[in-house]
């Protein structure tokens, strides 16, 4: 699944390599749990990889310079952390691709995945 994601990724793979890495990670690790966090507008991280929504920024983030007003930040690394902030369109379209690939092998999860995508789309994208 992870290789298929890289092959189909519609944006510049070099520029958005952290986004690609995160969704490849997501496809191999508890996909539905992570999708539920995204659906609920909750940031998530491990020791070396994660994402956070602008909505989760607080006063401490402003003080440390980690504040951003819109979009989603993805990061990866241990000591030297790479990060990128993407707009909601790139976030959503990248997630939608991961969901399509996930559903190829997990058809029984179709309803929950599509409901989550609908909630995420309605929250972050305006038509």
Contacts of 84 by beta carbon, 8 Å cutoff, 6+ apart = 16, 18, 19, 73, 74, 75
Q: According to the model, what pLDDT value does residue 3 have?
A: 85
Domain range for 117 is 2-122
Beta carbons of 38 and 63 less than 8 angstroms apart:
no
Question: What pLDDT, in 10s, does the model give residues 60-72?
Answer: 655 656 656 778 9
Residue 88 sits at the vertex; the CA angle it makes with 6 and 60, to the nearest 5 degrees, is: 110
Q: In whole numbers, what is the pLDDT of the chain averaged over residues?
A: 87
CA distance linking residue 85 with residue 83, whole number of Å: 7
pLDDT interval class at 94 (50, 70, 90): very high
Whether residue 8 lies inside any domain: the answer is yes
Phi/psi at 30 (nearest 5 deg)? 50, 55
The rounded distance, in Å, linking the Cα atoms of 39 and 42 is 8
On whether residue 43 sits in a domain, the answer given is: yes
The pLDDT tens digits for 14-65 are: 999 999 999 998 998 889 999 999 999 998 888 788 898 887 765 665 565 6
Q: Is residue 127 part of a domain?
A: no
Evaluate whether residue 109 is within a structural domain: yes
Q: Which pLDDT band, with edges at 50, 70 and 90, does 105 fall under?
A: very high
Give domain status of residue 50, yes or no.
yes
> What total number of domains does the chain contain?
1
Residues near 88 by beta carbon (within 8 Å), at least 6 away in sequence = 70, 71, 72, 124, 125
């Amino acid at each position: 699944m992870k290789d298929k994601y890289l092959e189909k990724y519609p944006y510049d793979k070099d520029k958005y390599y952290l986004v690609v890495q995160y969704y490849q990670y997501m496809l191999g690790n508890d996909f539905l749990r992570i999708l539920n966090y995204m659906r609920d507008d909750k940031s998530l991280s491990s020791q070396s990889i994660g994402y956070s929504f602008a909505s989760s920024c607080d006063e401490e983030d402003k003080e440390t310079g980690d504040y951003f007003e819109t979009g989603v930040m993805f990061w990866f690394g241990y000591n030297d952390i790479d990060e990128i902030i993407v707009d909601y369109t790139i976030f959503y379209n990248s997630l939608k691709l991961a969901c399509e690939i996930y559903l190829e092998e997990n058809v029984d999860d179709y309803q929950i995945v599509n409901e989550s995508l609908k909630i995420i789309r309605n929250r972050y994208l305006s038509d």
